[in-house]
Amino acid sequence: MSERRDGRVLVVKLSAFGDFVMSIGAFQAIRTHHPEAGIVLLTTRPYAALAEASGCFEEVWLDRRPGPLDLPGWLALGRRLRHGGFARVYDLQRSQRSGWYFRLLGRPRPEWVGIVPGCSHRYRPPAGRALHILDRQAAQLALAGIAAVPPPDLSFVRADTGRFALPEDFALLVPGGAAHRPAKRWPAERFAVLARALAARGLTPVLLGTAAEEDALEAIAAACPEARDLCGQAGLEDIAALAREARIAVGNDTGPMHLIAAAGCPVVSLFSGESDPAKVAPRGPSVAVLRRPKLAELALEEVLAALPPDLPNPAAGTKSSRANPAEREEVPTDE
């Protein structure tokens, strides 16, 4: 299928939030490369709606991710993959699990673009180099004849944010992160002081998070009465739409920051020593990364210094130069 671009194509991307968002550019490149193909995405439930809205796929299959002892689940998945009639598979998950899916296909196997030994187009990451996920995807897809992988284009994502009744000038704060990795979180009390500093500059802090971050968001809102707590109220589409309207976003190394950056919002992304921004930093038109071995060592003054200089500051007599929503829609999403 190196030259032929019809037939059935499978794309495998199961998780996680940030990785899925950053894979949208690869989805779009695959769609462009196979304009006549029936393309199927194998993913998990949290990302199905976003995948369907992208227009890249004829079908979106949900993976139940069978456990090691779930023999019926594995058998059912194997049957579905084998009966899919795929001529090529793009494994963007590049994991041990997706490697097992390669084996489930039996023989003869379709062309497989991934990292599993024995596949037709095997990508081998260069040793000793830290490559960003977007660079790894571009190199992987180049093996299959896809010469260019653009940044994610999220113009297809639409949501009506009017129900939140936000003021014109607001900032997004994303103080959460994986519950099992608390070291990736800047302390909530620092976010609270940041929220007060932004409010003093005429920006309403808008707090984003899920029920898992509810305590932190409530503490920040209590310390900054001007803040708007949207805990659990904003879905993926809402976050992208809010990002197009926000003046700035500050947050930890967590999935929503990738969506916000790709949507075009200037972001300040906070990293601890537990993750490497060279591999997983958000990508977008305006991304500043601050990293400390322990995020508790990151001072508020450093975060304030990283904010864009054109933010409104009533104390200095400056007013908002905010573009209208139509103009913000035109912001490109590449770096």
The Cα 205–Cα 16 span in angstroms is: 26
- For residues 56 and 28, the answer to whether their CB atoms sit within 8 Å is yes
Please indicate whether the domains covering 8-142 and 161-327 agree at the CATH topology level: yes
The Cα 145–Cα 140 span in angstroms is: 10
Q: What strand order describes the sheet that includes 204-207?
A: 228-229, 204-207, 170-174, 248-252, 267-271, 287-291
- For residues 166 and 228, the answer to whether their CB atoms sit within 8 Å is yes
Both tokens of 138, joined, read 């571009």
Fold of 161-327: Rossmann fold (3.40.50)
Give percent of the chain with pLDDT exceeding 70. 91
Identify the pLDDT of residue 81.
97
pLDDT band at 325; cut points 50, 70, 90 = very low
- For the segment 26-50, the average pLDDT, to the nearest whole number, is 97
pLDDT band at 319; cut points 50, 70, 90 = low
Q: Over the stretch 91-119, which tens digit does the pLDDT of each residue have?
A: 999 999 999 999 999 899 999 999 999 99
Q: Is 291 exposed, middle or buried (0-12, 13-18, 19+ CB in 10 A)?
A: middle
CATH 3.40.50.2000 is right for the domain spanning 8-142: yes
The Cα 41–Cα 194 span in angstroms is: 40
- For residues 153 and 333, the answer to whether their CB atoms sit within 8 Å is yes
Identify the pLDDT of residue 130.
84
* Backbone dihedral angles phi then psi of residue 236, each to the nearest 5 degrees: -60, -45
Query: Does residue 312 have a cis bond before it (omega within 30 degrees)?
Result: no
Q: Say what angle helices 236-245 and 255-262 make with each other, to 10 degrees.
A: 50
Domain ranges across the chain: 8-142, 161-327
Q: What SS3 state is found at 21?
A: helix
Which residue in the block uniquely carries the two structure tokens 């304009």?
Answer: 35
Q: Over the stretch 150-183, which tens digit does the pLDDT of each residue have?
A: 999 999 999 999 999 999 999 999 999 887 889 9
Q: What SS3 state is found at 65?
A: coil
What count of other Cβ atoms lies within 10 Å of the Cβ of residue 207? 25
| 249 DSSP assignment | E
What count of other Cβ atoms lies within 10 Å of the Cβ of residue 67? 9
